[in-house]
Amino acid sequence: MKQEIFIAGLRISLGWIYLWAFLDKLLGLGFATKADKSWLAGGSPTSGFLQFGVHGPLAPLFSSLAGNAAVDGLFMAGLLLIGLAIMLGIGMRIASWAGVLLSLLMWSSLLPPANNPTVDEHIIYVFAFLVLASIKAGHAYGLGKWWSERAIVKKHPILE
């Protein structure tokens, strides 16, 4: 029982990190994104960071993507869908692997990390996503059990 609470806590808090980032960038809640820079106000959710925040060997690649509408859309869709799926406990495999990919992209845009030569919070997120993908994490106080009983999920287990 205690284990399920810990798994649910990890799942919900990790999902909230991504969903919160989406909401802040969409609405400009004043944490990482000011209201006048929000996506709804016409701002680019990626341009500030990709123009001025990246560093390291891959910085030119990431900087070249700044303000690209397709990159903005994919980034925002990723934050929203990863966050919702992980929080709800549905589509855990796909959402977790998408979270691994997005986390590795964010990590690689800041090489080396500021406080450690190799590991920052994005690497911790990668391992958390891998744990969640390898167990039935959505069943722990989530909609995963209900989701896994859907016909489409039974037909395509990758959707679990």
What average pLDDT score do residues 78-98 get?
Answer: 98
Identify the pLDDT of residue 74: 97
Identify the pLDDT of residue 113: 93
- How does residue 108 score in pLDDT terms, banded at 50, 70 and 90? very high
113: exposed, middle or buried (Cβ count in 10 Å: 0-12, 13-18, 19+): middle
Angstrom distance (rounded) from CA 92 to CA 11: 10
Determine what percent of the chain is predicted with pLDDT higher than 70: 100
Question: Is the predicted pLDDT of residue 145 greater than 80, yes or no?
Answer: yes
- How does residue 104 score in pLDDT terms, banded at 50, 70 and 90? very high
Mean pLDDT of the chain: 96
- How does residue 1 score in pLDDT terms, banded at 50, 70 and 90? confident
Question: Is the predicted pLDDT of residue 47 greater than 80, yes or no?
Answer: yes
- How does residue 42 score in pLDDT terms, banded at 50, 70 and 90? very high
- How does residue 46 score in pLDDT terms, banded at 50, 70 and 90? very high
Provide the 3-class DSSP secondary structure of residue 143: coil
128: exposed, middle or buried (Cβ count in 10 Å: 0-12, 13-18, 19+): buried
